[in-house]
Structure 1
Amino acid sequence: MKKILLCVLLALLSISLVACTTTNEDKPSLTDGTYTATKNGFQEGYETVSVTIQDNKIAKVLITESTDFPVTLTTPALKEIPTAIVEHQTYNVDTVTGATMTSLAIKLAVKDCLEQAGGTEGFNHAVEAKEPIVKEDITTNILVVGAGGSGMMAALEAYTDGTVNSISGLSVTLIEKAASVGGITSLSGGVHYVYTDETGAYDEAWANKCLENEKATLQASMELEFNEELMKNEILINQHANQLMNETGVQQADAWGHMTFASNDDHVDPKWNGSYFTYAMGPYIENSGIDLRVNTSATSLLTDETGTVIGASVQDKEGTYNIYADKVILCTGGFAQNQELIKKYAPGFEKGIVFSSGTNDGDGIIMAEKLNAQIIGNKMMGHIGADGNVGARPDFGAAVYYGWNMHPFVNMNGERFTNEDKSKYQIYHDILNQPELTAWAILDADDPFVPDLEASTSEYVHKADTLEDLANELGLPFDTLQKTVQEWNECVANGNDAYFGTDISHMQELKDGPYYAYILRPITMTSEVGVKVDGECRVLDVNGTVIQNLFAAGDMIMGGNIVSYYFDARGTGTAFYSGTLAGKTAKNESLEH
């Protein structure tokens, strides 16, 4: 729904901007003064804007309040959009890559202020695009494409020598197509698996034991050949990777890798804990000797006559140029935003409601594919949630994300359709096949999550005195819903779910009203399709041969190498550890030559 809303907003904004082209003489006579307006932004946040009109011009645009988050992604828009509007005397300026919803909120709020002042004609023209120029090429030892969690860790590992206080001596260039670093990591839960050895040995025997545990844990989530060597190397490097993160200020609270505020934070508590990583790591990267280039995207990989990768062609706001490199590491994430790639590699998942970074469009997969890289996996990673704006964390998120599912999930026919005790990531797949892509969790007054629902302001939470009233409110057939509830209660009484095999200890009888319901929709976050790599993150071609000087990490390799279905903590964990591993392999090879 929100994805559709965003498209409608963009379309309406475009229509209002191109409907007429005006000259200065056509401009309305604006009344001098300061005007304010508030527009909704991202994840239930909003932007409040103050616009000062003086002598029929936009004299000043200020953001007086912003609740959009994570601030690591929204800050560039808060800085750049107001400046551009004053400079070009139009609210139709380019949105900031990676912060589209925040950019639109600011632009629409300025439009509102202009209407209050007397009109928008003459202030709605598009900014004339500059002709791109051909810029001077550069050379670096290691080029990292993508500055999310895996990209920043890859760059950090390649640049340092053991600790952040020791430098490898290699030149490292990190490019990011968005206006800020962080990528989808900033929109992640931020929890990552941490392997510890109480003896402190961290030896081969310990690594093998951890590997066997991981194989047992992930077996149900993997349909392809498990990349044991890759997983073992991630285990072996995890202590070093976490040490590097700690040295840059990324604090971890426990053995599960829950992140806490870094010492240099001045931000409010974010809804997505992956932001903690960016809060700390981002400033370190920016102030290090790593050559960080934002608003810069790779358009193709460069190869020599033997097919060896020698760099990438890139484009920034000014123009195009080549970056020649000894090694290239692809950390560009998945392709949740690319419907063509979803249809090609994960058919059946096109219907998912996308909640992902706007830069998650599969450019790394496309570039690797052109070099005949082996593409593996066939699924998307998603969760149950509300819509494409709040994703899997609506204000009743505790019930969605952390509940033990003591209540039945029913589709729009009023029927159960799944084992409610399955992973939320697998239930996401099930809801994709339900009518209207919608399901409801049904609760009674005794459910432990009722306080969360009572406190919710979401349109997706419903309450009714009787089950029949609730069915009518949700648009469900009452007779079917009533039968479903009776069957659920019989399962509880008999101590066995004869229909879907849900753990009986996680089922609670539905008794008296009032009754509650919250929505369950399939929220697509990223892809579980990646490039095949060896145990040290070297990319393999369709014949299983290493593509020389090309590496990949993060979401580029998680799907198909580690999991087919997503498993908790593996996204962020794979990003951090495979990023470090790819950086280490590329660094060592570069130093050897």
Structure 2
Amino acid sequence: MREFETDVVVIGGGASGLAAAITAAEKGAQVMILEKANSTGGCANMAMGLLGVETKLQKERLIGLTREEAFEKFMDYTHWRSDAKLVKKYIDKSADTIEWLQEMGVEFALPSKYFPGSEATWHIVKPKTGNPGLRAAATMIKAMTERADELGVKILLETPVKNLIKEDGEVIGITANDKDGELEVYAGAVIISTGGFGDSPEFIKKYTPYEWGKDIFSYRIPGLTGDGIQMAWDAGAAKDYMSMELVFFAPNTGGYAPIELPFRQPNVFVNLDGKRFYNEEVVENPVFSVNAISRQKNRVAFSIIDDKLIEKYEENGLDLINVVTSSMDMSYFNHEKEEAIKNGSDVLFIADSIEELAEKTGIDKEGLKTTLKNYNEACKTGDKDFGKNHKYMLPIDGSKLYALKFAPSAYGSLGGIKINDMTEVLTDEFKVISGLYAAGTDANSVCNPDYVFILPGNTLGFAVNSGRMAGNNAVEYIKTNLVEE
């Protein structure tokens, strides 16, 4: 058994773990990161950007959202189910965090909205090459890893942590394994930041209303199996609200695939009974839409268009775009459509009649016929069912019909470890487990019950900011213990 000593040990080298380690090292602490993967970053390597409020980038562009307004919007959206003090600290710190990253050499594109009804809080990382897009934040992770190295943070890759070491109710270290066997690291404080349980179908089935591969088709970043959450629970931590960072995609297409472009529009959405179930204008908000879809039979829905709408989008562009799809046009869709026709598809269905479309999709034929008949009439008189804006009421009466299947998906998990506004881990009795902190996805129960999409950048934003908070608080805890001793 090999033994090591350090001031702070961080479990997980993703965005929150790196932020915690860098912050603690900047305050003079000796820090070790133990990461089970063979590289740093975790799910942050898939991300685009993080939340910032009252940043210089926003002020330069006359984006006037204040911290107070953002806090109010956040708490209203969550119906005050979130820890208000934790949310306030996170939002108040976010602008400083953007500058902190910029000092490391991280560059950001324009602060962006996710969709028209949201706020421009999403500070998307600008890659060294190419345009901002999916995986842009990998550039940020590289800069953070280099900063950690510069500060002397010892990063042990391919070293999964197995357990926390407790003594007299205080967490004093961890046990882990690497290629050479078992090791122990004793520390003044331990920070858990292992990225959640998005790669654990067992956790998803047990702790959320979904079953992976059956009614949710979320991203699975290898290794995010709830290890840190479980070891915190084993050490006495309370379970906090757990959910998925829900969105909706065509199953097994990778998310925001070009095949979705003309279907992720405010046209006709139906369930398996062939009935509309919401105002399709809401399609721009992924959380609201997935909530509606999740209430339907088998948690699936179908967006239906025709060849006339496809021609319209080809000539005039799409009705709705977001920052992820803004770089795509209908040529991307047409390419994927041809591939689907050639190779077959279990999400895209093309037919010459309503009856044929119903047969291919499994939608109730009579229900679909009635819905499309009523919808086409409403295109003349107005949508009395859901009050959809008349400019989006375009009849489905072309010679060829198209349907795309949508189902719940998620970028990852949310929550699991109960913390306070100091990022200290709490028991069921709200007592602090001395020496133990948690940050990032493992402790992100502030997006409760839904991801707060009106303030985009919340997952990565909470990860980096809570990591910084945990790193700072862990060092202060160690200093206090030294004075007391």
- TM above 0.5, yes or no, is yes
Deviation at 1:485, TM superposition (A): 1.9
Give the aligned residue type for 2:228: G
Residue number in structure 1 paired with 2:116: none
Q: Residues 115-174 of structure 1: CA distance to partner in whole angstroms, max 9, x if unpaired?
A: xxxxxxxxxxxxxxxxxxx3x1111111111111111111121112xxxxxxx3211111
1:170 to 29, 37, 49: 29
Deviation at 1:567, TM superposition (A): 2.3
1:234 to 79, 87, 90: 90
- CA gap of 1:287–1:169, structure 2 versus 1, over 3 A, is closer
Question: Counterparts in 2 of 1:197-236, with a 5 A limit?
Answer: 210-220=67-77, 222=78, 225-236=81-92
- CA gap of 1:356–1:274, structure 2 versus 1, over 3 A, is farther
Deviation at 1:436, TM superposition (A): 4.8
- How many angstroms apart in 1 are the aligned matches of 2:23 and 2:428? 29
User: What is the SS of the residue equivalent to 2:184?
Assistant: strand
Give the aligned residue type for 1:480: G
- CA gap of 1:151–1:348, structure 2 versus 1, over 3 A, is same
- CA gap of 1:246–1:411, structure 2 versus 1, over 3 A, is same
Q: Residues 288-324 of structure 1: CA distance to partner in whole angstroms, max 9, x if unpaired?
A: 411111111111111112x111111112232111111
- CA gap of 1:323–1:399, structure 2 versus 1, over 3 A, is farther
User: What is the SS of the residue equivalent to 1:440?
Assistant: strand
- How many angstroms apart in 1 are the aligned matches of 2:39 and 2:255? 23
Q: Residues 495-554 of structure 1: CA distance to partner in whole angstroms, max 9, x if unpaired?
A: 3452x5656565544343433222212224322332222112111111111111111111
- CA gap of 1:586–1:509, structure 2 versus 1, over 3 A, is farther
- CA gap of 1:285–1:453, structure 2 versus 1, over 3 A, is same
Question: Counterparts in 2 of 1:390-409, with a 5 A limit?
Answer: 390-399=253-262, 403=264, 405-409=265-269
- How many angstroms apart in 2 are the aligned matches of 1:178 and 1:399? 38
- How many angstroms apart in 2 are the aligned matches of 1:585 and 1:301? 19
1:145 to 5, 11, 18: 11
- How many angstroms apart in 2 are the aligned matches of 1:426 and 1:349? 20
Give the aligned residue type for 1:210: R
Question: Counterparts in 2 of 1:30-429, with a 5 A limit?
Answer: 134=1, 136-160=2-26, 168-188=27-47, 190-196=48-54, 210-220=67-77, 222=78, 225-255=81-111, 256-263=121-128, 271-286=134-149, 288-305=151-168, 307-350=169-212, 351-388=215-252, 390-399=253-262, 403=264, 405-420=265-280, 421=282, 423-429=285-291
- CA gap of 1:197–1:527, structure 2 versus 1, over 3 A, is closer
Q: Judge conservation of contact 1:146–1:331 (CA < 8 Å) in 2.
A: yes
1:567 to 452, 455, 473: 452
Deviation at 1:248, TM superposition (A): 2.2
- CA gap of 1:243–1:310, structure 2 versus 1, over 3 A, is same
Q: Judge conservation of contact 1:327–1:590 (CA < 8 Å) in 2.
A: yes
Residue number in structure 1 paired with 2:117: none
* Identity fraction in percent: 25
- CA gap of 1:279–1:268, structure 2 versus 1, over 3 A, is farther
Larger deviation, residues 464-473 vs 539-548:
464-473
Residue number in structure 1 paired with 2:478: 590
Deviation at 1:196, TM superposition (A): 0.9
Q: Residues 13-35 of structure 1: CA distance to partner in whole angstroms, max 9, x if unpaired?
A: xxxxxxxxxxxxxxxxxxxxxxx
- How many angstroms apart in 2 are the aligned matches of 1:574 and 1:373? 20
Deviation at 1:480, TM superposition (A): 2.1
- CA gap of 1:495–1:452, structure 2 versus 1, over 3 A, is farther
Residue 327 of structure 2 is aligned to residue 439 of structure 1: no
Q: Judge conservation of contact 2:274–2:365 (CA < 8 Å) in 1.
A: yes
Q: Residues 248-282 of structure 1: CA distance to partner in whole angstroms, max 9, x if unpaired?
A: 2321112334434444x6x8976333333224333
User: What is the SS of the residue equivalent to 2:96?
Assistant: helix
Q: Judge conservation of contact 1:375–1:530 (CA < 8 Å) in 2.
A: yes
Give the aligned residue type for 2:35: E
Q: Residues 225-263 of structure 1: CA distance to partner in whole angstroms, max 9, x if unpaired?
A: 321111111122212211221122321112334434444
- CA gap of 1:553–1:505, structure 2 versus 1, over 3 A, is farther
- How many angstroms apart in 2 are the aligned matches of 1:506 and 1:158? 53
Deviation at 1:393, TM superposition (A): 2.9
User: What is the SS of the residue equivalent to 1:521?
Assistant: strand
| Structure 1 residues without counterparts, runs of 5 or longer | 1-133, 161-167
Deviation at 1:581, TM superposition (A): 1.6
Give the aligned residue type for 1:359: G
Deviation at 1:380, TM superposition (A): 2.2
Q: TM-score, normalised by structure 1?
A: 0.67
Residue 396 of structure 2 is aligned to residue 540 of structure 1: no
User: What is the SS of the residue equivalent to 1:446?
Assistant: helix
Q: Judge conservation of contact 2:269–2:301 (CA < 8 Å) in 1.
A: yes
Larger deviation, residues 226-235 vs 282-291:
282-291
- How many angstroms apart in 2 are the aligned matches of 1:303 and 1:295? 24
- How many angstroms apart in 2 are the aligned matches of 1:285 and 1:489? 60
Residue number in structure 1 paired with 2:371: 484
User: What is the SS of the residue equivalent to 2:430?
Assistant: coil
User: What is the SS of the residue equivalent to 1:531?
Assistant: coil
User: What is the SS of the residue equivalent to 1:353?
Assistant: coil
Q: Residues 382-434 of structure 1: CA distance to partner in whole angstroms, max 9, x if unpaired?
A: 2211334x43232335457xx4x311222333233344316323433444454
Q: Judge conservation of contact 2:124–2:132 (CA < 8 Å) in 1.
A: no
Q: Judge conservation of contact 2:22–2:147 (CA < 8 Å) in 1.
A: no
1:521 to 399, 407, 415: 407
1:455 to 318, 322, 335: 335
Give the aligned residue type for 2:192: L
Q: Judge conservation of contact 2:414–2:447 (CA < 8 Å) in 1.
A: no
- How many angstroms apart in 1 are the aligned matches of 2:58 and 2:275? 52
Give the aligned residue type for 1:590: I
Give the aligned residue type for 2:4: I
Q: Judge conservation of contact 2:34–2:156 (CA < 8 Å) in 1.
A: yes
Q: What is the RMSD of the two structures over their aligned residues, measured on CA atoms?
A: 3.0
User: What is the SS of the residue equivalent to 1:413?
Assistant: coil
Q: Judge conservation of contact 1:211–1:228 (CA < 8 Å) in 2.
A: no
- CA gap of 1:275–1:489, structure 2 versus 1, over 3 A, is farther
- CA gap of 1:302–1:274, structure 2 versus 1, over 3 A, is same
